[in-house]
């Protein structure tokens, strides 16, 4: 009996050790899908094309961005072997900016003990192609912005994954939840484990995020924030934008917008996220806000709001549908595979020449 118990413990410890090792090692066989594209000297937006765009006196919401999904993601060996949705890798943020990407998605967690935001995807998908601290990654992009003063406005999608207490990161989300919002709404935890859930004050976490962004993104680089368009006459951001429209990209060149992606059980935290430098996501029916991902771009266009969507591996028809319907922000694991520039004026989409050297998506993945 004792021998059997020892065998079970030994096997369990060995399995845990193997999983931890696989989570810690990069899947070297999974390469950034646009790596060869860039090695051949291709980019999705040349300096001359970007300059021409930023001289246009067109409002920001007239353009479509094609960006990277989970821009800091690196495929760990565990995901590369066992989890198909995680079987992709991105190049460094610097390489993505060099490629011409102007829409980046940063997955972040709030460390309540250290009162800081950190970049990682999930506890079972922890590796990143960037600095571990959000502020450090942002500092790197800020330096790039200062060196490229007339770049097209950067659009950051700040994906709020959750919050955790120090030492419990490996338990999220299935044992301790995602930390933000009421415990009863943390539906990834079984009811019998609700007592283990971590609950962090969302206002505190968002205030820390605002402070980190403002501390890093300093002049002469500019943040275009809700306060820059909303005045005393406006009762909400949505009404302000609907009434005034967006500034032209000519006025916004060299600046950055931070859009706060809150969804799932965190989806009703918009009020806690107000008064800061970012633009919170909301349901498209909520006209107080200007950013949604609900699949109604026509409604968003009508009131100058932004619609964002994700395109998966090889989904060319889906991509064309999003472009045709006017989606403003399109994120993809393989942005260079569609043959479009990373930013373009939607009304001119049919006259834009294809990006030379773009690759067929089916050829770029180790797993199809």
Per-residue pLDDT, 365: 31
Per-position DSSP letters for 143-193, written without gaps between them = HHHHHSTTPPPEEEEEEEEEEE-TT-GGGTTTTT--SBS-GGG-TTS-GGG
Instruction: For residue 288, give the 3-state DSSP assignment.
Output: coil
* Helix or strand holding residue 279 (H, E): strand 278-280
Most confident of 111-120, 180-189, 228-237, 347-356: 111-120
Q: ∠ CA(217), CA(103), CA(35), 5° rounding?
A: 115
Phi, psi of 80 (to 5 degrees): -60, -25
159 torsion bin: left (phi>0), alpha (psi -120 to 50), beta (else): beta
More confident of the two residues 283 and 55? 55
Which pLDDT belongs to residue 352? Answer: 59
For 168-206, give one letter per residue: b (16+ CB within 10 A) or e. Answer: bbeebbebbbbbbbeeeebebbeeeeeeebbbbebeebb
Q: What is the pLDDT of residue 190?
A: 66
Q: Say yes or no to pLDDT of 186 above 80.
A: no
- For residue 173, whether the previous peptide bond is cis, meaning omega lies within 30 degrees of 0, is yes
pLDDT value at residue 124: 73
Q: Is 268 exposed, middle or buried (0-12, 13-18, 19+ CB in 10 A)?
A: middle
| Mean pLDDT along residues 12-18 | 81
pLDDT category at 341 given cuts 50, 70, 90 is: very high
Q: How confident is the model at residue 355 (pLDDT cuts 50, 70, 90)?
A: low
Averaged confidence pLDDT in the chain = 87
pLDDT of residue 193: 63
**pLDDT at residue number 368:** 25
Percentage of the chain modeled with pLDDT above 90: 53
Position 41 scores a pLDDT of 92
Q: How distant, in Å, are the alpha carbons of 169, 192, 193, 340, 363 from that of 175?
A: 10, 10, 7, 42, 38
**207 or 219: whose pLDDT is higher?**
207
What confidence score (pLDDT) does residue 259 get?
Answer: 97
How high is the pLDDT of residue 295? Answer: 87
SS3 133: strand
pLDDT digits (tens, 9 = 90+) for 295-330: 888 888 888 999 999 998 789 999 999 999 999 999
Q: Is there a contact between 117 and 208 (Cβ–Cβ < 8 Å)?
A: yes
pLDDT at 362 over 50: no
What's the confidence (pLDDT) of residue 288? 87
pLDDT average, residue stretch 105-114: 94
Q: Who contacts 165 (Cβ-Cβ below 8 Å, separation ≥6)?
A: 112, 113, 176, 198
Average pLDDT over residues 207-224: 95
**pLDDT for res 185:** 63
């Amino acid at each position: 009996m004792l021998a059997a118990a020892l065998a079970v413990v030994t096997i369990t410890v060995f399995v845990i050790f193997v999983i931890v090792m696989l989570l810690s090692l990069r899947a070297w066989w999974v390469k950034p899908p646009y790596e060869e594209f860039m090695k051949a000297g291709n980019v999705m937006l040349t300096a001359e094309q970007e300059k021409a765009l930023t001289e246009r006196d067109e409002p920001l919401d007239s353009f479509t961005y094609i960006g990277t999904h989970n821009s800091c993601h690196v495929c760990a060996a565990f995901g590369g072997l066992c989890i198909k949705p995680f079987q992709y890798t991105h190049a460094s943020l610097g390489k993505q900016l060099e490629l011409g990407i102007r829409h980046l998605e940063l997955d972040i967690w709030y460390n309540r003990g250290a009162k800081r935001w950190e970049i990682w995807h999930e506890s079972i998908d922890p590796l990143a192609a960037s600095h571990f601290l959000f502020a450090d990654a942002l500092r790197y992009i800020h330096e790039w912005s200062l060196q490229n003063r007339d770049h097209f406005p950067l659009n950051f999608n700040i994906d709020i994954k959750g919050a955790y207490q120090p030492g419990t990161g490996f338990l999220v989300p299935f044992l301790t939840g995602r930390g933000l919002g009421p415990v009863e709404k943390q539906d990834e935890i079984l009811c019998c484990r609700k007592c283990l859930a971590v609950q962090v004050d969302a206002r505190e976490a968002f205030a820390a995020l605002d402070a980190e962004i403002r501390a890093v993104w300093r002049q002469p680089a500019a943040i275009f924030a809700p306060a820059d368009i909303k005045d005393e006459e406006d009762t909400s951001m949505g009404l302000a934008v609907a009434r005034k429209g967006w500034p032209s990209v000519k006025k916004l060149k060299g600046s950055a917008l931070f859009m706060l992606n809150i969804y799932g059980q965190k989806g009703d935290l918009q009020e806690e996220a107000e008064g800061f430098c970012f633009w919170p996501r909301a349901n498209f029916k909520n006209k107080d806000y200007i950013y949604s991902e609900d699949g109604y771009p026509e409604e968003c266009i009508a009131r100058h709001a932004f619609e964002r969507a994700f395109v998966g591996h090889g989904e060319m028809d889906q991509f064309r549908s999003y472009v045709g319907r006017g989606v403003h922000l399109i994120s993809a694991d393989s942005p260079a595979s569609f043959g479009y520039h990373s930013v373009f004026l939607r009304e001119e989409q049919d006259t834009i020449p294809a990006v030379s050297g773009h690759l067929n998506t089916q050829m770029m993945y180790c797993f199809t």
